[in-house]
Structure 1
Amino acid sequence: MPDTMIAVIGGSGLYDIDGLEGAKWQEVASPFGTPSDAILTGTLEGVKMAFLPRHGRGHVHTPSSVPYRANIDALKRLGATDVISVSACGSFREQMAPGDFVLVDQFIDRTVARENSFFGPGCVAHVSVAHPTCPRLGAACRTAARAAGITMHDGGTYLAMEGPQFSTLAESRIYREHWGADVIGMTNMPEARLAREAELCYASVAMVTDYDSWHPQHGEVDVAEIIRTLMGNADKGRDMVRRLPALLGAARMPCPHGCDRALNNAILTDPSVRDPDLVERLAAVAGRVL
Protein backbone atom coordinates (compact mmCIF):
# COMPACT_ATOMS: atom_id res chain seq x y z
CA MET A 1 0.00 0.00 0.00
CA PRO A 2 1.17 3.58 -0.64
CA ASP A 3 1.80 5.88 2.30
CA THR A 4 -1.06 8.09 3.40
CA MET A 5 -1.37 11.42 1.63
CA ILE A 6 -4.21 13.56 2.93
CA ALA A 7 -5.51 15.93 0.26
CA VAL A 8 -7.72 18.82 1.29
CA ILE A 9 -9.84 20.61 -1.29
CA GLY A 10 -10.63 23.98 0.22
CA GLY A 11 -13.78 25.86 -0.70
CA SER A 12 -14.87 29.46 -0.30
CA GLY A 13 -12.82 31.15 2.43
CA LEU A 14 -10.23 28.37 2.75
CA TYR A 15 -7.37 29.06 0.35
CA ASP A 16 -4.41 27.54 2.20
CA ILE A 17 -3.38 25.55 5.26
CA ASP A 18 -0.57 26.51 7.59
CA GLY A 19 2.03 24.58 9.55
CA LEU A 20 3.25 22.31 6.74
CA GLU A 21 6.89 21.29 6.83
CA GLY A 22 8.69 21.65 3.50
CA ALA A 23 5.70 23.51 2.09
CA LYS A 24 5.78 24.33 -1.61
CA TRP A 25 3.29 25.05 -4.36
CA GLN A 26 3.50 22.54 -7.21
CA GLU A 27 2.08 22.81 -10.72
CA VAL A 28 0.62 19.44 -11.74
CA ALA A 29 -0.26 18.74 -15.38
CA SER A 30 -3.39 16.73 -16.09
CA PRO A 31 -4.71 15.35 -19.39
CA PHE A 32 -8.14 16.51 -18.24
CA GLY A 33 -7.18 20.19 -18.27
CA THR A 34 -5.53 22.67 -15.93
CA PRO A 35 -6.36 22.27 -12.21
CA SER A 36 -7.88 25.15 -10.28
CA ASP A 37 -4.45 26.20 -9.03
CA ALA A 38 -1.05 24.88 -8.07
CA ILE A 39 -1.18 22.38 -5.20
CA LEU A 40 0.42 23.11 -1.83
CA THR A 41 2.35 20.06 -0.58
CA GLY A 42 4.33 19.26 2.54
CA THR A 43 4.16 17.10 5.64
CA LEU A 44 2.38 17.51 8.95
CA GLU A 45 3.37 15.30 11.89
CA GLY A 46 5.14 12.98 9.46
CA VAL A 47 2.12 12.55 7.18
CA LYS A 48 2.16 13.79 3.60
CA MET A 49 -0.37 16.53 2.88
CA ALA A 50 -1.68 18.29 -0.20
CA PHE A 51 -3.96 21.30 -0.42
CA LEU A 52 -5.85 22.51 -3.49
CA PRO A 53 -7.97 25.69 -3.41
CA ARG A 54 -11.07 24.63 -5.34
CA HIS A 55 -11.81 28.08 -6.71
CA GLY A 56 -8.13 29.06 -7.06
CA ARG A 57 -6.31 31.61 -4.92
CA GLY A 58 -8.22 34.84 -5.19
CA HIS A 59 -11.43 32.91 -6.00
CA VAL A 60 -11.34 32.95 -9.80
CA HIS A 61 -13.52 29.92 -10.60
CA THR A 62 -17.30 29.80 -10.44
CA PRO A 63 -18.86 26.57 -9.18
CA SER A 64 -19.55 25.59 -12.78
CA SER A 65 -16.09 26.45 -14.12
CA VAL A 66 -14.12 24.53 -11.47
CA PRO A 67 -12.10 21.91 -13.40
CA TYR A 68 -13.27 19.01 -11.26
CA ARG A 69 -11.74 16.24 -13.39
CA ALA A 70 -8.36 17.95 -13.57
CA ASN A 71 -8.37 18.56 -9.82
CA ILE A 72 -9.06 14.95 -8.85
CA ASP A 73 -6.69 13.59 -11.50
CA ALA A 74 -3.89 15.92 -10.35
CA LEU A 75 -4.31 14.88 -6.71
CA LYS A 76 -4.22 11.22 -7.72
CA ARG A 77 -1.04 11.83 -9.72
CA LEU A 78 0.59 13.39 -6.66
CA GLY A 79 -0.17 10.26 -4.64
CA ALA A 80 -3.24 11.35 -2.69
CA THR A 81 -5.04 8.52 -0.89
CA ASP A 82 -7.63 10.43 1.13
CA VAL A 83 -9.52 13.51 -0.08
CA ILE A 84 -11.35 15.81 2.31
CA SER A 85 -13.68 18.35 0.79
CA VAL A 86 -14.22 21.47 2.88
CA SER A 87 -16.93 23.74 1.49
CA ALA A 88 -19.45 26.41 2.44
CA CYS A 89 -23.15 25.55 2.45
CA GLY A 90 -26.60 26.79 3.32
CA SER A 91 -28.69 24.94 5.88
CA PHE A 92 -32.24 23.60 5.63
CA ARG A 93 -32.34 22.59 9.31
CA GLU A 94 -32.83 24.93 12.27
CA GLN A 95 -30.37 22.93 14.37
CA MET A 96 -27.65 23.16 11.69
CA ALA A 97 -26.87 26.77 12.42
CA PRO A 98 -24.40 29.16 10.78
CA GLY A 99 -20.94 28.37 12.14
CA ASP A 100 -21.73 24.65 12.55
CA PHE A 101 -20.13 21.92 10.42
CA VAL A 102 -21.99 19.02 8.82
CA LEU A 103 -20.38 15.69 7.97
CA VAL A 104 -22.15 14.95 4.69
CA ASP A 105 -22.89 11.33 3.81
CA GLN A 106 -25.39 11.62 0.93
CA PHE A 107 -25.93 13.83 -2.12
CA ILE A 108 -28.73 14.94 -4.42
CA ASP A 109 -27.12 16.07 -7.67
CA ARG A 110 -28.91 18.93 -9.44
CA THR A 111 -25.92 20.06 -11.51
CA VAL A 112 -26.38 20.03 -15.27
CA ALA A 113 -23.36 21.72 -16.90
CA ARG A 114 -20.35 19.68 -15.72
CA GLU A 115 -18.30 16.72 -16.92
CA ASN A 116 -19.12 14.10 -14.31
CA SER A 117 -16.98 11.10 -15.33
CA PHE A 118 -13.43 10.30 -16.39
CA PHE A 119 -14.73 7.50 -18.58
CA GLY A 120 -16.62 7.68 -21.87
CA PRO A 121 -16.92 6.21 -25.37
CA GLY A 122 -14.03 3.81 -25.89
CA CYS A 123 -13.68 2.94 -22.22
CA VAL A 124 -16.96 2.57 -20.38
CA ALA A 125 -17.11 2.10 -16.61
CA HIS A 126 -19.83 2.10 -13.98
CA VAL A 127 -18.99 2.57 -10.28
CA SER A 128 -21.36 2.52 -7.34
CA VAL A 129 -21.98 5.78 -5.50
CA ALA A 130 -24.77 4.43 -3.31
CA HIS A 131 -22.62 5.43 -0.35
CA PRO A 132 -20.53 8.26 -1.84
CA THR A 133 -18.38 9.12 1.18
CA CYS A 134 -15.90 7.04 3.16
CA PRO A 135 -17.07 6.24 6.73
CA ARG A 136 -13.47 5.71 7.94
CA LEU A 137 -12.33 9.11 6.68
CA GLY A 138 -15.51 10.76 7.86
CA ALA A 139 -14.99 9.39 11.36
CA ALA A 140 -11.53 10.97 11.46
CA CYS A 141 -12.98 14.32 10.39
CA ARG A 142 -15.70 14.07 13.04
CA THR A 143 -13.18 13.29 15.79
CA ALA A 144 -10.84 16.09 14.66
CA ALA A 145 -13.64 18.66 14.49
CA ARG A 146 -15.04 17.84 17.90
CA ALA A 147 -11.57 17.88 19.44
CA ALA A 148 -11.21 21.39 18.04
CA GLY A 149 -14.45 22.44 19.76
CA ILE A 150 -16.44 22.60 16.52
CA THR A 151 -20.14 21.71 16.49
CA MET A 152 -20.16 18.86 13.97
CA HIS A 153 -23.45 17.28 12.89
CA ASP A 154 -22.97 13.62 12.08
CA GLY A 155 -24.59 12.87 8.73
CA GLY A 156 -26.54 14.95 6.28
CA THR A 157 -27.77 15.08 2.70
CA TYR A 158 -26.15 17.75 0.53
CA LEU A 159 -28.11 19.09 -2.43
CA ALA A 160 -25.67 20.20 -5.14
CA MET A 161 -27.12 22.97 -7.30
CA GLU A 162 -25.58 24.46 -10.44
CA GLY A 163 -25.45 28.09 -9.31
CA PRO A 164 -23.99 30.64 -9.29
CA GLN A 165 -27.27 32.20 -8.14
CA PHE A 166 -28.76 31.12 -4.83
CA SER A 167 -32.11 29.30 -4.59
CA THR A 168 -35.51 30.82 -5.10
CA LEU A 169 -37.80 30.63 -2.07
CA ALA A 170 -39.90 27.97 -3.82
CA GLU A 171 -36.83 25.84 -4.55
CA SER A 172 -35.57 26.19 -1.00
CA ARG A 173 -38.90 25.00 0.37
CA ILE A 174 -39.04 22.03 -2.00
CA TYR A 175 -35.50 20.88 -1.17
CA ARG A 176 -36.16 21.20 2.57
CA GLU A 177 -39.73 19.98 2.93
CA HIS A 178 -40.15 17.42 0.15
CA TRP A 179 -36.70 16.17 -0.88
CA GLY A 180 -35.20 15.71 2.58
CA ALA A 181 -32.02 17.70 1.92
CA ASP A 182 -30.19 19.03 4.96
CA VAL A 183 -27.71 21.44 3.36
CA ILE A 184 -27.21 23.02 -0.05
CA GLY A 185 -24.03 23.90 -1.94
CA MET A 186 -22.62 24.20 -5.43
CA THR A 187 -19.36 22.24 -5.52
CA ASN A 188 -19.46 18.71 -4.08
CA MET A 189 -20.78 17.25 -7.33
CA PRO A 190 -19.32 15.90 -9.54
CA GLU A 191 -16.32 16.01 -7.20
CA ALA A 192 -17.54 13.10 -5.05
CA ARG A 193 -18.37 10.98 -8.12
CA LEU A 194 -14.94 11.59 -9.63
CA ALA A 195 -13.15 10.76 -6.38
CA ARG A 196 -14.94 7.41 -6.34
CA GLU A 197 -13.92 6.71 -9.96
CA ALA A 198 -10.33 7.57 -9.01
CA GLU A 199 -10.51 5.09 -6.10
CA LEU A 200 -9.91 7.79 -3.52
CA CYS A 201 -11.47 7.83 -0.06
CA TYR A 202 -13.62 10.99 0.06
CA ALA A 203 -15.17 12.86 2.97
CA SER A 204 -17.26 16.02 2.78
CA VAL A 205 -17.25 18.61 5.55
CA ALA A 206 -19.84 21.32 4.86
CA MET A 207 -19.45 24.57 6.81
CA VAL A 208 -22.81 26.27 7.35
CA THR A 209 -22.91 29.99 6.51
CA ASP A 210 -26.65 30.71 6.23
CA TYR A 211 -30.17 29.29 6.16
CA ASP A 212 -30.62 29.55 2.37
CA SER A 213 -33.93 31.40 1.82
CA TRP A 214 -36.52 29.22 3.59
CA HIS A 215 -36.13 30.53 7.15
CA PRO A 216 -38.86 33.07 8.04
CA GLN A 217 -36.61 34.92 10.52
CA HIS A 218 -33.59 35.14 8.24
CA GLY A 219 -35.00 35.90 4.80
CA GLU A 220 -32.90 35.80 1.65
CA VAL A 221 -29.19 34.97 1.60
CA ASP A 222 -27.03 37.95 2.62
CA VAL A 223 -23.60 37.72 0.97
CA ALA A 224 -22.00 40.11 3.47
CA GLU A 225 -23.17 37.91 6.35
CA ILE A 226 -21.94 34.80 4.53
CA ILE A 227 -18.45 36.30 4.19
CA ARG A 228 -18.32 37.16 7.90
CA THR A 229 -19.28 33.59 8.81
CA LEU A 230 -16.85 32.17 6.22
CA MET A 231 -13.89 33.82 7.90
CA GLY A 232 -14.67 32.20 11.23
CA ASN A 233 -15.40 28.86 9.59
CA ALA A 234 -12.09 28.92 7.69
CA ASP A 235 -10.13 29.18 10.96
CA LYS A 236 -12.13 26.27 12.37
CA GLY A 237 -11.50 24.27 9.21
CA ARG A 238 -7.73 24.76 9.48
CA ASP A 239 -7.85 23.65 13.11
CA MET A 240 -9.71 20.49 12.11
CA VAL A 241 -7.26 19.73 9.29
CA ARG A 242 -4.24 20.10 11.60
CA ARG A 243 -5.59 17.28 13.78
CA LEU A 244 -6.10 14.76 10.96
CA PRO A 245 -2.54 13.39 10.52
CA ALA A 246 -2.43 12.12 14.09
CA LEU A 247 -5.73 10.31 13.52
CA LEU A 248 -5.00 8.80 10.10
CA GLY A 249 -1.28 8.04 10.46
CA ALA A 250 1.42 7.69 7.80
CA ALA A 251 0.99 3.95 7.21
CA ARG A 252 -1.93 3.29 4.88
CA MET A 253 -4.04 0.15 5.13
CA PRO A 254 -6.63 -0.95 2.56
CA CYS A 255 -9.89 0.95 2.95
CA PRO A 256 -12.30 -1.29 4.91
CA HIS A 257 -15.15 0.09 2.81
CA GLY A 258 -13.53 -0.61 -0.56
CA CYS A 259 -13.11 2.97 -1.79
CA ASP A 260 -9.62 2.14 -3.06
CA ARG A 261 -11.01 -0.82 -5.03
CA ALA A 262 -14.04 0.90 -6.57
CA LEU A 263 -13.00 -0.01 -10.13
CA ASN A 264 -12.92 -3.74 -9.51
CA ASN A 265 -15.23 -5.16 -12.20
CA ALA A 266 -16.39 -1.63 -13.17
CA ILE A 267 -14.87 -1.39 -16.66
CA LEU A 268 -17.10 -3.01 -19.26
CA THR A 269 -15.27 -2.26 -22.53
CA ASP A 270 -13.30 -5.21 -23.88
CA PRO A 271 -9.55 -4.51 -23.88
CA SER A 272 -9.35 -5.22 -27.62
CA VAL A 273 -11.59 -2.26 -28.48
CA ARG A 274 -10.63 0.29 -25.84
CA ASP A 275 -9.71 3.74 -27.12
CA PRO A 276 -5.91 3.94 -26.61
CA ASP A 277 -5.96 7.73 -26.24
CA LEU A 278 -8.57 7.58 -23.47
CA VAL A 279 -6.75 4.72 -21.79
CA GLU A 280 -3.61 6.85 -21.75
CA ARG A 281 -5.50 9.76 -20.18
CA LEU A 282 -6.80 7.37 -17.52
CA ALA A 283 -3.31 6.28 -16.46
CA ALA A 284 -3.45 7.90 -13.02
CA VAL A 285 -7.14 7.46 -12.29
CA ALA A 286 -7.52 3.85 -13.44
CA GLY A 287 -4.03 2.54 -14.06
CA ARG A 288 -4.44 -0.09 -11.35
CA VAL A 289 -7.07 -1.93 -13.39
CA LEU A 290 -6.07 -0.91 -16.92
Structure 2
Amino acid sequence: MTLDLAVIGGTGLYQFPGLEDVERRTLDTPYGAPSGAVVLGRFRGRRLAFLARHGEDHTLAPHRVNYRANLWALHRLGARRVLGVNAVGGIRADMKPRALAVPDQIIDYTHGRISSYSDMEGVKVEHIDFSEPYGAALRADVLAAARRAGVAVVDGGCYGATQGPRLETRAEIARLRRDGCDLVGMTGMPEAALARELGIDYACLALVANWAAGCGDQAEISLEEIFANLAAATAEVPKIIAALLGD
Protein backbone atom coordinates (compact mmCIF):
# COMPACT_ATOMS: atom_id res chain seq x y z
CA MET A 1 0.00 0.00 0.00
CA THR A 2 1.30 3.48 -0.93
CA LEU A 3 2.51 5.68 1.92
CA ASP A 4 0.08 8.62 1.88
CA LEU A 5 1.64 10.82 4.54
CA ALA A 6 4.34 10.93 7.20
CA VAL A 7 3.89 12.84 10.44
CA ILE A 8 6.76 14.00 12.65
CA GLY A 9 5.45 14.47 16.18
CA GLY A 10 6.85 17.17 18.43
CA THR A 11 6.66 17.73 22.17
CA GLY A 12 3.49 16.10 23.51
CA LEU A 13 2.94 13.90 20.46
CA TYR A 14 5.01 10.76 20.91
CA GLN A 15 2.55 8.22 19.49
CA PHE A 16 -0.16 8.60 16.90
CA PRO A 17 -3.57 7.49 18.21
CA GLY A 18 -5.74 5.31 16.02
CA LEU A 19 -3.04 3.62 13.94
CA GLU A 20 -3.91 0.05 12.97
CA ASP A 21 -1.81 -2.84 11.63
CA VAL A 22 1.23 -1.21 13.17
CA GLU A 23 4.76 -2.09 12.08
CA ARG A 24 7.87 -0.55 13.62
CA ARG A 25 10.82 0.01 11.28
CA THR A 26 14.29 0.80 12.62
CA LEU A 27 16.44 2.11 9.79
CA ASP A 28 20.15 2.69 9.48
CA THR A 29 20.89 5.82 7.48
CA PRO A 30 24.06 7.33 5.97
CA TYR A 31 23.62 10.11 8.55
CA GLY A 32 23.34 8.04 11.70
CA ALA A 33 20.32 6.91 13.67
CA PRO A 34 16.91 8.61 13.48
CA SER A 35 15.15 9.72 16.65
CA GLY A 36 13.61 6.27 16.94
CA ALA A 37 11.69 3.64 15.05
CA VAL A 38 9.34 4.80 12.31
CA VAL A 39 5.86 3.54 13.10
CA LEU A 40 3.95 2.46 9.99
CA GLY A 41 0.27 1.70 10.01
CA ARG A 42 -3.16 2.42 8.60
CA PHE A 43 -5.21 5.39 9.73
CA ARG A 44 -8.77 5.53 8.46
CA GLY A 45 -7.77 3.09 5.74
CA ARG A 46 -4.79 5.08 4.49
CA ARG A 47 -1.09 4.36 4.95
CA LEU A 48 0.60 6.64 7.49
CA ALA A 49 4.12 6.84 8.92
CA PHE A 50 4.83 8.43 12.29
CA LEU A 51 8.12 9.42 13.91
CA ALA A 52 8.54 11.06 17.33
CA ARG A 53 11.04 13.86 16.74
CA HIS A 54 12.39 13.89 20.31
CA GLY A 55 12.13 10.12 20.75
CA GLU A 56 9.18 8.33 22.29
CA ASP A 57 10.43 9.19 25.80
CA HIS A 58 11.42 12.76 24.90
CA THR A 59 15.13 12.14 25.39
CA LEU A 60 16.44 14.34 22.55
CA ALA A 61 16.82 18.08 23.02
CA PRO A 62 16.04 20.19 19.92
CA HIS A 63 19.70 20.73 19.03
CA ARG A 64 20.44 17.01 19.44
CA VAL A 65 17.77 15.74 17.03
CA ASN A 66 19.27 14.05 13.97
CA TYR A 67 17.10 15.88 11.48
CA ARG A 68 18.99 14.50 8.47
CA ALA A 69 18.47 10.89 9.53
CA ASN A 70 14.79 11.50 10.32
CA LEU A 71 13.94 12.98 6.93
CA TRP A 72 16.09 10.48 5.05
CA ALA A 73 14.39 7.54 6.80
CA LEU A 74 10.90 8.81 5.98
CA HIS A 75 11.89 9.50 2.39
CA ARG A 76 13.44 6.04 2.12
CA LEU A 77 10.15 4.51 3.22
CA GLY A 78 8.34 6.33 0.45
CA ALA A 79 7.09 9.51 2.11
CA ARG A 80 6.61 12.31 -0.38
CA ARG A 81 4.47 14.43 1.96
CA VAL A 82 5.62 15.15 5.51
CA LEU A 83 3.72 17.14 8.12
CA GLY A 84 5.86 18.40 10.98
CA VAL A 85 3.92 18.98 14.20
CA ASN A 86 5.75 21.54 16.32
CA ALA A 87 5.12 22.93 19.80
CA VAL A 88 5.65 26.70 19.74
CA GLY A 89 5.24 29.88 21.73
CA GLY A 90 2.87 32.60 20.54
CA ILE A 91 4.05 36.11 19.77
CA ARG A 92 1.29 37.62 17.62
CA ALA A 93 -2.00 38.38 19.34
CA ASP A 94 -3.97 35.67 17.53
CA MET A 95 -1.31 33.03 18.25
CA LYS A 96 -2.61 32.43 21.74
CA PRO A 97 -2.12 29.27 23.81
CA ARG A 98 -3.99 26.25 22.39
CA ALA A 99 -4.19 27.85 18.94
CA LEU A 100 -3.11 25.87 15.87
CA ALA A 101 -1.32 27.54 12.98
CA VAL A 102 0.10 26.62 9.58
CA PRO A 103 2.98 29.07 9.10
CA ASP A 104 4.19 30.15 5.68
CA GLN A 105 7.59 31.65 6.53
CA ILE A 106 10.51 30.92 8.84
CA ILE A 107 13.59 32.70 10.19
CA ASP A 108 16.44 30.51 11.38
CA TYR A 109 18.22 31.62 14.59
CA THR A 110 19.74 28.21 15.33
CA HIS A 111 23.46 27.54 15.28
CA GLY A 112 25.77 24.56 15.05
CA ARG A 113 23.18 22.19 13.59
CA ILE A 114 24.02 20.18 10.48
CA SER A 115 21.58 21.78 8.10
CA SER A 116 22.21 20.20 4.69
CA TYR A 117 22.76 16.87 3.00
CA SER A 118 25.55 18.64 1.12
CA ASP A 119 27.58 18.75 4.35
CA MET A 120 29.53 15.58 3.56
CA GLU A 121 32.90 15.00 1.91
CA GLY A 122 32.62 14.54 -1.85
CA VAL A 123 28.88 15.29 -2.06
CA LYS A 124 27.69 17.76 -4.70
CA VAL A 125 26.57 21.05 -3.17
CA GLU A 126 22.90 21.78 -3.86
CA HIS A 127 21.54 25.34 -3.62
CA ILE A 128 17.81 24.96 -3.04
CA ASP A 129 15.28 27.74 -3.59
CA PHE A 130 13.94 28.39 -0.11
CA SER A 131 11.99 31.59 -0.80
CA GLU A 132 8.83 29.77 0.27
CA PRO A 133 10.04 27.32 2.93
CA TYR A 134 6.84 25.29 3.16
CA GLY A 135 5.21 23.35 0.34
CA ALA A 136 2.28 25.29 -1.10
CA ALA A 137 0.31 22.16 -2.00
CA LEU A 138 0.50 20.51 1.42
CA ARG A 139 -0.12 23.82 3.23
CA ALA A 140 -3.30 24.30 1.21
CA ASP A 141 -4.37 20.71 1.85
CA VAL A 142 -3.83 21.03 5.62
CA LEU A 143 -5.82 24.27 5.80
CA ALA A 144 -8.66 22.75 3.76
CA ALA A 145 -8.61 19.62 5.95
CA ALA A 146 -8.86 21.72 9.11
CA ARG A 147 -11.89 23.51 7.69
CA ARG A 148 -13.57 20.21 6.84
CA ALA A 149 -12.78 18.89 10.32
CA GLY A 150 -14.17 22.00 11.99
CA VAL A 151 -10.84 22.82 13.64
CA ALA A 152 -9.87 26.49 13.82
CA VAL A 153 -6.40 27.04 12.34
CA VAL A 154 -4.50 30.28 11.74
CA ASP A 155 -3.40 30.55 8.11
CA GLY A 156 0.15 31.86 7.79
CA GLY A 157 2.68 33.45 10.08
CA CYS A 158 6.44 33.50 10.47
CA TYR A 159 8.09 30.85 12.64
CA GLY A 160 11.26 31.94 14.46
CA ALA A 161 13.45 28.87 15.04
CA THR A 162 15.67 29.24 18.12
CA GLN A 163 18.34 26.96 19.53
CA GLY A 164 16.80 25.79 22.80
CA PRO A 165 16.36 23.82 24.90
CA ARG A 166 15.93 26.84 27.18
CA LEU A 167 13.05 29.20 26.58
CA GLU A 168 13.83 32.66 25.28
CA THR A 169 14.39 35.91 27.19
CA ARG A 170 11.99 38.84 26.90
CA ALA A 171 14.63 40.75 24.96
CA GLU A 172 15.05 37.87 22.52
CA ILE A 173 11.32 37.68 21.90
CA ALA A 174 11.19 41.45 21.44
CA ARG A 175 13.88 41.04 18.78
CA LEU A 176 11.95 38.23 17.09
CA ARG A 177 8.84 40.42 17.07
CA ARG A 178 10.81 43.26 15.43
CA ASP A 179 12.10 40.76 12.87
CA GLY A 180 8.53 39.84 11.97
CA CYS A 181 8.18 36.51 13.79
CA ASP A 182 4.70 35.47 14.93
CA LEU A 183 5.66 32.16 16.53
CA VAL A 184 8.78 30.85 18.21
CA GLY A 185 9.91 27.23 18.35
CA MET A 186 13.07 25.14 18.50
CA THR A 187 12.63 22.44 15.85
CA GLY A 188 11.45 24.16 12.67
CA MET A 189 14.95 24.25 11.24
CA PRO A 190 16.79 22.55 9.66
CA GLU A 191 13.86 20.16 9.21
CA ALA A 192 12.09 22.28 6.61
CA ALA A 193 15.25 22.87 4.55
CA LEU A 194 16.26 19.21 4.60
CA ALA A 195 12.81 18.22 3.39
CA ARG A 196 13.19 20.65 0.49
CA GLU A 197 16.57 19.14 -0.43
CA LEU A 198 14.92 15.72 -0.65
CA GLY A 199 12.04 17.03 -2.76
CA ILE A 200 9.50 16.36 -0.01
CA ASP A 201 6.29 18.40 0.13
CA TYR A 202 6.63 19.60 3.73
CA ALA A 203 4.38 21.72 5.94
CA CYS A 204 4.29 22.65 9.62
CA LEU A 205 1.32 22.38 11.94
CA ALA A 206 2.26 24.55 14.91
CA LEU A 207 0.60 23.99 18.28
CA VAL A 208 0.83 27.03 20.56
CA ALA A 209 1.80 25.84 24.03
CA ASN A 210 2.29 29.22 25.72
CA TRP A 211 2.74 32.91 25.20
CA ALA A 212 6.36 33.69 24.42
CA ALA A 213 8.24 35.69 27.06
CA GLY A 214 6.76 39.16 27.46
CA CYS A 215 3.70 38.38 25.31
CA GLY A 216 0.11 37.96 26.40
CA ASP A 217 -0.84 38.66 29.98
CA GLN A 218 1.19 36.00 31.80
CA ALA A 219 3.93 37.04 34.21
CA GLU A 220 5.73 33.71 34.16
CA ILE A 221 5.74 30.65 31.89
CA SER A 222 4.45 27.57 33.74
CA LEU A 223 5.45 24.11 32.54
CA GLU A 224 2.18 22.74 33.89
CA GLU A 225 0.25 25.18 31.70
CA ILE A 226 2.44 24.39 28.71
CA PHE A 227 1.66 20.68 28.88
CA ALA A 228 -2.04 21.29 29.51
CA ASN A 229 -2.22 23.58 26.48
CA LEU A 230 -0.29 21.09 24.36
CA ALA A 231 -2.61 18.26 25.34
CA ALA A 232 -5.65 20.31 24.29
CA ALA A 233 -4.08 21.34 20.96
CA THR A 234 -2.70 17.87 20.24
CA ALA A 235 -6.20 16.38 20.58
CA GLU A 236 -7.17 18.27 17.41
CA VAL A 237 -4.35 16.84 15.29
CA PRO A 238 -5.91 13.42 14.45
CA LYS A 239 -9.08 15.20 13.26
CA ILE A 240 -7.06 17.25 10.79
CA ILE A 241 -5.05 14.23 9.64
CA ALA A 242 -8.23 12.21 9.11
CA ALA A 243 -9.66 14.96 6.91
CA LEU A 244 -6.31 15.37 5.13
CA LEU A 245 -6.34 11.70 4.22
CA GLY A 246 -9.85 11.97 2.86
CA ASP A 247 -12.00 10.81 5.78
* Structure 1 residue 206 displacement after superposition: 0.5
Provide the aligned length of Structure 1 versus Structure 2.
245
Report the counterpart of residue 131 of structure 2 in structure 1: 130
Runs of 4+ in structure 1 over 4 Å off: none
Q: 2: distance between equivalents of 1:167 and 1:127? A: 30
**2:139 is paired with a residue of what secondary structure?**
helix
Given that 2:4 and 2:245 are in contact with CA atoms closer than 8 Å, whether structure 1 keeps it comes out as no
Counterpart Cα distance in 2 of 1:33 and 1:216: 41
Deviation at 1:148, TM superposition (A): 2.9
Q: CA deviation at 1:4?
A: 4.9
Q: Secondary structure at the match of 1:243?
A: helix
Structure 1 residues 69-122: Cα deviation after superposition (integer angstroms, max 9, x where no partner): 000000011000100011110011112211111111110000002100001342
Amino acid at match of 1:61: L
Contact conserved, 2:21 with 2:42, CA < 8 A, in 1?
A: yes
**Cα distance between partner residues in 2 of 1:145 and 1:48:** 19
1:286 — aligned with what? Answer: none
The separation in 1 between residues aligned to 2:148 and 2:225, in whole angstroms, is 27
Tell me the equivalent position of 1:214.
Answer: 214
Q: Any conservation in 2 of the 1:166–1:221 contact (CA below 8 Å)? A: no
Q: 1:190, 1:29 → 2: CA distance?
A: 20
SS at match of 1:199: coil
The answer as to 2:74 corresponding to 1:53 is no
Change (3 A) 1:112 1:21: same
Match of 2:111 in 1: 112
1:156 shift after superposition: 0.7
Does the residue aligned with 1:241 lie in a helix, a strand or coil? Answer: helix
CA distance in 1, matches of 2:148, 2:139: 14
Q: Larger deviation: 94-103 or 81-90?
A: 94-103
Partner of 1:278: none
Residue of structure 1 in register with 2:169 after alignment: 168
1:219-258 counterparts in 2 under 5 A? 219-246=219-246
Task: For 1:25-44, list aligned pairs within 5 A.
Answer: 25-44=24-43
TM norm structure 2: 0.94
Describe how 1:195-206 pairs up with structure 2 within 5 A. Answer: 195-206=195-206
SS in 2 for 1:125: coil
User: Which structure: larger Rg?
Assistant: 1
Equivalent-residue separation in structure 2 for 1:146 and 1:89 (angstroms): 22
Identity %: 39
Write the distance in 1 (CA, Å) between the matches of 2:140 and 2:112. Answer: 32
Contact conserved, 1:212 with 1:220, CA < 8 A, in 2? no
What is the root-mean-square deviation of aligned Cα atoms in Å? 1.6
Q: State the match for 1:271 in structure 2.
A: none
CA–CA distance in 2 between the matches of 1:53 and 1:238? Answer: 15
Query: Which sections of structure 2, spanning at least 5 residues, go unmatched?
Result: none
What residue identity is the alignment partner of 1:162? Q
1:62 is matched with 61
Q: d(CA) in 2 for partners of 1:59 and 1:86?
A: 14
